[in-house]
Structure formats: C-alpha cells, structure tokens
Structure 1
Amino acid sequence: MGADAVPTRHREDPNPAGPDPEPDGPRLAVTSEVGTLHTVLLHRPGDELRRLTPRNNDQLLFDGIPWVERAQQEHDTFAGVLRERGTEVLLLSDLLAETLAVSGAARIQGISAAVDARRLGHALADELAAFLRGVQARELAGILMAGMTFDELPFGPDATSLVRRMHHGADFVIDPLPNLLFTRDSSFWVGPRVAITSLALPARSRETSLTDLIYAFHPRFLGVRRAYESHTAPIEGGDVLLLSHGVVAVGVGERTSPAGAEALARSLFDDDLAHTVLVVPIAQSRATMHLDTVCTMVDADAVVMYPAARESLRAFTIRKEGDGRVSMSGSDPFLPAAATAMGIDKLRVIDTGLDGVTAEREQWDDGNNTLALAPGVVVAYERNEMTNARLEEAGIEVLRIPGSELGSGRGGPRCLSCPLSRNDR
C-alpha cells in the first residue's frame, strides 16, 4: 500500500441524497447544545498561524500575533480534557490528509479552490496546479491549510510571468487559513445532517472548501446528507444554537445575513429538522461577531449571557405550521421567546461578571463562549475567573483550560469545536 493509502473504502461520488450512514463510531447526529458529547471535530493550530505578521493579522482576522507553540499546547490541553471525559476527538488535518489520499476527486477540487487563475494568471496557475496534483496527501493538506508564498514555489522564476515579477517573494500565491482552528463556523450539524456554511469574510471563504471535501469524500462520513448548503447567503456556525430538539436560534449580525438565516430556516423545515427558528439580531461589531459570543447554553434550561445583551436581545420567530405553511412573528424579547419555543417556563440566565467593566472584559475574552460536554458540564477559558465562579455558584461544573494564545483570533471553546455526535439531551 502506497504512502498515501489508507485501509478504508474509497469514494469518489459524495452522493448527498443517499441514506443516512452507519458510522464506524457513535451515531453522527446533534440535536442539542448540551447533550453528552461523543464526537467532536477540532483543528490543532499549525503552520497557518506562522503566516501571521503585523502587516496581515488584521486582514486575517486576528487581534495579535499568537505564540504558535503555546497555542498548540493550549489546544492539546483542550483536546485532552475532552478525551478524559470520554469524547472522541477527530482532527481536521488528519481527516483532510486521509480524504486527499483516498479520493482523486477531492484532490482536484481542493487544488482548484486554492489556485486562483484570476489572480495568478492561467500559465502560473496551471503550472502550480500540475505540481500540487503530484504532491503526497499529507503535504498537500498542509499546503491547502497553511498556504504558499511566491518564494516557496517549487519551480524557478518564469521570465514571462508578470504576476511573479510584480509580487514580493513573501506574498501569498495560496492564502493561508489561520481561522481553521474555529471549526464551529464552516459546518454544523442539525440532527443527522450536516450544514456547510457560506463564510462572510474573504479571509475565511476557502475554509468551507476543505470542510466540504471531508464530508463529501472521507469514508467516516459516507452517505451523510446535507441539511443546508449556500454559496450566496452568508451564515456561520457560531451564529447557530440548537436550543432544544426542533428549536434553533440564529444570530444575524456581522457574519450571518437575514437572507442566510431565512434560507436555513426554510431548509430545516423542508427536511423536518426543526419546527421553530428564532432569528436574533446582534450588534455588527468585532466584539459580538456571532451569537455565541454573547450567549451559550450550559444546561438544558440555562444559558450564560453577557448582561448588556440580556434585556436588549430580541427575536423574530419563524414557525413551520401543521399545514406546512411558514409563519413569522416578532420581534419579541429573546429569552421569553426562546423559553416558549422550548416548551419551558423560563431560561435560567447566568450573567458574565458582577459589574459592567468585568462583564465587558470577560465577554471580550470569550467568557460567554463555553462548550458543554454534558448537561451542567462546560469547558471555559480559565482567565474568565468571575464568569466561571458565577457558573459554579449556579451548579455548573467548569473545566478550565488556558486560552491566552488561542483567544487571539477571538474565539472560545465553543468556537474551537464542531460537535458531530451528542445525546439528545
């Protein structure tokens, strides 16, 4: 068996309309934010973070230049906590390399998405694509994630390429994807189906091409059906909360558009994956880029929430009626609307911090962005001391992890993880 081969079934056709699969591990399905977490997709930060400089970090959506080795240590701690609690951890880089090894179609599609002939010119693009088609799967996966500079091109200068003449050697011929570590955004699961998203900002738009390859061609996801797929209306996984079985909240703000939220709702209704979608407008700012930066679930009836958003968040309610019609109402206060949709009296709310300054600081540091491993058990950044203390006072078990470097891209434990398999509650 060759260096790229893996002893598993080869699939060239994703066949999105096929039956739900019988996976090798736990059943792939997610209907809750807090049900016991069985399987999760993470991405251990790698060479793509080494591409960040003071000149490009804003464009690549990072607030600073992370210390890569420390970020990797922090991520290893995070993955270790999940494994210790019985969660199977799948790493995106491994899945991508395995996908490229077993599928020629995946290799062609991944290269096509990365090599932009409009920017490079057809001659240079064709030469680079031809080279990449012969690269071993693990190395190719690394290039698709970490990018490539003009200095790193594997062939000598071409005197007839104006593109090469006019670019500096450190410029990117393939852009890096440093935000890949936030696996929540490029895909999310609703029931037994996966939604491939449309990321709003150019720095992240190619991430979904890699996620799409994995779900389409990796044998672990053989036969998985799609819940939603959009190439026009932006929607990101950080804006989607599965409040309870059949009830989904979608934030609309900097990253998810009203059109994306409505398209998701109608798709979920068509596939009988939800009966109610709450569309929640949030401020279009860096501090509140996604709904899960101001609110996440920590128990079946409890959320941790930024106090400044507690009274201001409102929701438009979209329902699938019994006769198949879609109704819309609102806007109404979010918390009561959510409780009504979930069929409970009220949601317990645990505020971030005790005073306005602490709350603002800890919201910025992802104090609201927790990952539930089971009802009443969450992973949180250790730096948010006040929020963690308030969670524990409310009876929530908090598993603390370091995040000083991981957080430089504005994301906490929920952002860093894409659940693939959970208990219903």
Structure 2
Amino acid sequence: MGADAVSARREGLDPHGAGQDDVRLAVTSEVGSLRTVLLHRPGNELRRLTPRNNDQLLFDGIPWVERAQQEHDTFAGVLRERGTEVLLLSDLLAETLEVSGAARIQGISAAVDARRLGHALADELAAFLRGVPARELAEVLMAGMTFDELPFGPDATSLVRRMHHGADFVIDPLPNLLFTRDSSFWVGPRVAITSLALPARHRETSLTDLIYAFHPRFLGVRRAYESHTAPIEGGDVLLLSEGVVAVGVGERTSPAGAEALARSLFDDNLAHTVLVVPIAQTRATMHLDTVCTMVDADAVVMYPAVRDSLCAFTIHKDDDYGGRNGGGRVTMRGPDPFLPAAADAMGIGKLRVIDTGLDGVTAEREQWDDGNNTLALAPGVVVAYERNEMTNARLEDAGIEVLRIPGSELGSGRGGPRCLSCPLSRDHV
C-alpha cells in the first residue's frame, strides 16, 4: 500500500481508531464472533533456523517453510470464509514504516544494538537502513541480517567484524513473530503491549508497538497496559467473560507481571476480577492457553492432568476502589480450585469441561500438539489442528463445531491456532 492510500485510510478514521467502514476494535471475551484478527504469515525469518540455533530461537525443529506458509494460508482462509477480516503483521509494519519517520527511527534503533556491534558499525548500519524502502526495511526488522549480508565492505578497523563469522547475525531474526498472541492483546477497546520473557523474543514487542503507535488503522487507540520490567505474555491471558480475566503465571509470565496487569485493568475499569493461575514452568505448559482455552461462553477444553490441580488466586476490585497507579484497594484470596473460582467470578453455576484426549497417553500427546490451543470464531465454533483427532472428536461430541486445519509445520514452535492469532475485534457475547 502506497503512502497516499495509507493517508486516505487515515482520513477515514474516527477519533477512536476504527475507520468509518471498520468494525469497532474491542475484545471482551474469548468466544464472541471474531470480526478482525492480526496474523503473521511465516516468512524468511523461519529460514534463519538451523540445528545450531533452533533451541535458542525457541523452536523444537526446523520447519519446512513452504509447507508452513501453505498451512498458514489455509488457516487465514478458514477465518476469511467465516467472515473475519485478516490483517497481516508484515503488511501493517511496511505501511507503518512508509508513513512514519518516527516509526522508522524507532524500529532501527531497537534492531541495531551498539553494545554488541560497537558504535562505528552500528552507526553505519543504522544510517544505511534509514534510506532503505519501507517494505525492505520491514523484511530486515523481521528476518534479521547476517554479517555476510552487510551492505558495505569489510572494515579492517572493526574488531567486531573481524571476530564474527559471516553467518552470525548483525540483527537477530524473529521466527516467533507468527505467534501474534503474545506480543499484544486487547481488553475492551484498549491494547496491551506486553513484555516478553525470553531474549529471543524481546524485540517482537518493538514492532507491534510501532504498528499500534503509528499505523493509521490504530489512530487514537489507547493502551491498557505497558511494562518493560515485569514479564507478561498474551498466551497467558484469557478473557473469561466481560470484566473477568485469567492470567497464567509460569515460564513466561511472572507474579509481578500478573499483579501489575491486574492493577492496570482495575485502574482503567477494564476488569473487576483477575484470576492468577500458577502453571508448571515447562516447555509443554509455557502458557495458560497450552492447557486450557474457552470454546463456548460456558465451556473450556482442558488438559485432564491439571483439571483437579489447577488453582487460582482471585484479585478483586473493591466497589469503592478509586485509586490510581496501583494505589487503590483490592481484595485477594486463594489459592482455590480454578474451575469453581472461574465460574464464580463469571457469575455462572459451573464451567463445562471437555478433556484433551481420552486416556492419559493420548491426552499427553495431544496436549503437546496444542490440542487445548483452540481459537474460537464464535460461541461453540473453534479452529483446531487436525492432528488432534481424539480431542476434536470429544469437542464435537460436546456440541462444538471444529474447523480443522493442518499444523505439522506451524506447530514446530509449540503453538496452536490461538497462539497464531491476536483478535482485534469481537462481538459481545
């Protein structure tokens, strides 16, 4: 999209950030009809993965990129067929860099690290990137750059260049960008920019931050929460119902991050109850949505091994709460069993639970393959990986419509349809 087209889109926006022809950007549940979603189609950043770096970059294997792209295209196609507008992160980033000089400067600054490259090399690279066309710059910010790919000849006086191999990264790639759920999430009409825990993902939020700050589509959108100190990731945040938020605490989200989010949501009147849910700090349960996701307004799919042990600390905003910046009154209780605590906070009698798998071995296998990580397109309608046959059958037996997609390559980074998507707009339930 050219600058004129983007400017025209800007002129059509209302003061709240949604275009005159756009659906209102707001999310108040996990299951309201999905109107607009942010995805990232896998790109050259996945081609940077090798057996030497895949563990460091948080992948369990080396994905077949072309097949991953085909699988992702199928996923996006299913969403579009069901009436969901699909926005692609790479397009939004390129458009942002095209219309905003400030975004360009900030994106380059976040990617070019003088502490690692030395000031001379960093300054030279940053100066070059400032003149690169927007879409090419977006590609560098996402896929990274090696020393062999530097656009200028060797500098005999640069110790950094002498001591690095040509295949080493000058700018690290971001292969986990396809998991758009983690770097931002929406609560009501506001967007939360997260603080990702692991070094391989730190820079992802700098790109989503640029998009929300400078892209015309999001003009006027306000922030729900922003922290650069306490880790919190979107995969740990479930909007159980309007005003009720569950936050997993484990490998990726810290107790401080969960508390900071709760107080921020209370301050902005975006929630009245936050349930903080401890989860095991393991690869198989990196986020709350790896063990539990909502499939209907009163139903969850859940890994049976944690059904009885999962607990929650309930943080509730007092009716007379009036403080700002975390200084108001809240009540805390727990830990209590998660399922009854969640149902109580949601104001329903009981949550229906659909187990992953049938026997223990099948449940463990399908939990590892993201059987619990479903994306609801409407109440009782979910997208799931086709490989989790038993879990999908159990969902259908419980009255849930399951839209199956391939995920053999997409799942190599341990993430399912929910991980792959950041809802921007849902209908109220």
TM class, shorter-length: over 0.9
> Contact conserved, 2:2 with 2:95, CA < 8 A, in 1?
no
SS at match of 2:387: coil
State the Cα distance separating 1:7 from its structure 2 match.
3.8
Show the 5 A alignment for 1:14-413. 24-323=21-320, 325-413=329-417
| Structure 1 unmatched runs, 5+ | 19-23
> Contact conserved, 2:275 with 2:342, CA < 8 A, in 1?
yes
> Contact conserved, 2:3 with 2:99, CA < 8 A, in 1?
no
| Structure 2 unmatched runs, 5+ | 321-327
SS at match of 2:3: coil
The residue that corresponds to 1:6 in the other structure is 6
> Contact conserved, 2:236 with 2:253, CA < 8 A, in 1?
yes
> Contact conserved, 2:96 with 2:103, CA < 8 A, in 1?
yes
> Contact conserved, 2:194 with 2:225, CA < 8 A, in 1?
yes
Q: Structure 1 residues 13, 53: closer, same or farther in 2, change over 3 A? A: farther
TM-score between both structures, scaled by the size of structure 1:
0.96
State the Cα distance separating 1:6 from its structure 2 match.
3.6
Q: How far apart, in 2, do the equivalents of 1:363 and 1:164 lie?
A: 44
Cα displacement string for residues 264-296 of structure 1 (whole angstroms, at most 9, x for unaligned residues): 000000000000000000000000000000000
Q: How far apart, in 2, do the equivalents of 1:322 and 1:26 lie?
A: 32
Q: How far apart, in 2, do the equivalents of 1:168 and 1:126 lie?
A: 20
> Contact conserved, 1:5 with 1:101, CA < 8 A, in 2?
no
SS at match of 1:118: helix
Q: Sequence identity of aligned pairs in percent?
A: 92
Q: Structure 1 residues 112, 253: closer, same or farther in 2, change over 3 A? A: same
State the Cα distance separating 1:325 from its structure 2 match.
1.9
Q: How far apart, in 1, do the equivalents of 2:207 and 2:4 lie?
A: 18
Q: How far apart, in 1, do the equivalents of 2:53 and 2:177 lie?
A: 16
State the Cα distance separating 1:8 from its structure 2 match.
3.2
State the Cα distance separating 1:12 from its structure 2 match.
14
Q: How far apart, in 2, do the equivalents of 1:327 and 1:287 lie?
A: 32
Q: How far apart, in 1, do the equivalents of 2:15 and 2:161 lie?
A: 40
> Contact conserved, 2:315 with 2:330, CA < 8 A, in 1?
yes
Q: Structure 1 residues 147, 303: closer, same or farther in 2, change over 3 A? A: same
Give me the CA root mean square deviation.
Answer: 2.1
> Contact conserved, 1:16 with 1:226, CA < 8 A, in 2?
no
Q: Structure 1 residues 167, 5: closer, same or farther in 2, change over 3 A? A: farther
> Contact conserved, 2:92 with 2:215, CA < 8 A, in 1?
yes
Q: How far apart, in 2, do the equivalents of 1:227 and 1:12 lie?
A: 25
> Contact conserved, 1:12 with 1:217, CA < 8 A, in 2?
no
SS at match of 1:273: coil
Q: How far apart, in 1, do the equivalents of 2:210 and 2:88 lie?
A: 14
SS at match of 1:101: helix
SS at match of 1:6: helix
State the Cα distance separating 1:411 from its structure 2 match.
0.1
State the Cα distance separating 1:108 from its structure 2 match.
0.1
Q: Structure 1 residues 125, 201: closer, same or farther in 2, change over 3 A? A: same
Cα displacement string for residues 176-207 of structure 1 (whole angstroms, at most 9, x for unaligned residues): 00000000000000000000000000000000
State the Cα distance separating 1:424 from its structure 2 match.
1.3
Q: How far apart, in 1, do the equivalents of 2:49 and 2:147 lie?
A: 16
> Contact conserved, 1:14 with 1:223, CA < 8 A, in 2?
no
State the Cα distance separating 1:3 from its structure 2 match.
7.7
Q: Structure 1 residues 374, 283: closer, same or farther in 2, change over 3 A? A: same
> Contact conserved, 2:7 with 2:216, CA < 8 A, in 1?
no
The residue that corresponds to 2:324 in the other structure is none
Q: Structure 1 residues 45, 116: closer, same or farther in 2, change over 3 A? A: same
SS at match of 2:285: coil
State the Cα distance separating 1:13 from its structure 2 match.
18
> Contact conserved, 1:377 with 1:398, CA < 8 A, in 2?
yes
Cα displacement string for residues 231-270 of structure 1 (whole angstroms, at most 9, x for unaligned residues): 0000000000000000000000000000000000000000
Cα displacement string for residues 336-361 of structure 1 (whole angstroms, at most 9, x for unaligned residues): 00000000000000000110000000
Cα displacement string for residues 359-400 of structure 1 (whole angstroms, at most 9, x for unaligned residues): 000000000000000000000000000000000000000000
Q: How far apart, in 2, do the equivalents of 1:392 and 1:164 lie?
A: 57
Q: How far apart, in 2, do the equivalents of 1:62 and 1:16 lie?
A: 41
> Contact conserved, 1:16 with 1:225, CA < 8 A, in 2?
no
Q: Structure 1 residues 211, 278: closer, same or farther in 2, change over 3 A? A: same
SS at match of 2:13: coil
Q: Structure 1 residues 14, 317: closer, same or farther in 2, change over 3 A? A: farther
Q: Structure 1 residues 246, 69: closer, same or farther in 2, change over 3 A? A: same
Cα displacement string for residues 293-319 of structure 1 (whole angstroms, at most 9, x for unaligned residues): 000000000000000010010000000
> Contact conserved, 2:369 with 2:388, CA < 8 A, in 1?
yes
State the Cα distance separating 1:16 from its structure 2 match.
12
Cα displacement string for residues 28-63 of structure 1 (whole angstroms, at most 9, x for unaligned residues): 000000000000000000000000000000000000
State the Cα distance separating 1:4 from its structure 2 match.
9.0
> Contact conserved, 2:195 with 2:227, CA < 8 A, in 1?
yes
Q: Structure 1 residues 65, 192: closer, same or farther in 2, change over 3 A? A: same
Q: How far apart, in 2, do the equivalents of 1:45 and 1:375 lie?
A: 28
The residue that corresponds to 1:21 in the other structure is none
State the Cα distance separating 1:25 from its structure 2 match.
1.1
SS at match of 1:380: strand
Q: How far apart, in 2, do the equivalents of 1:272 and 1:311 lie?
A: 32
Cα displacement string for residues 69-105 of structure 1 (whole angstroms, at most 9, x for unaligned residues): 0000000000000000000000000000000000000
Q: How far apart, in 2, do the equivalents of 1:12 and 1:104 lie?
A: 19
SS at match of 1:4: helix
> Contact conserved, 1:296 with 1:304, CA < 8 A, in 2?
yes
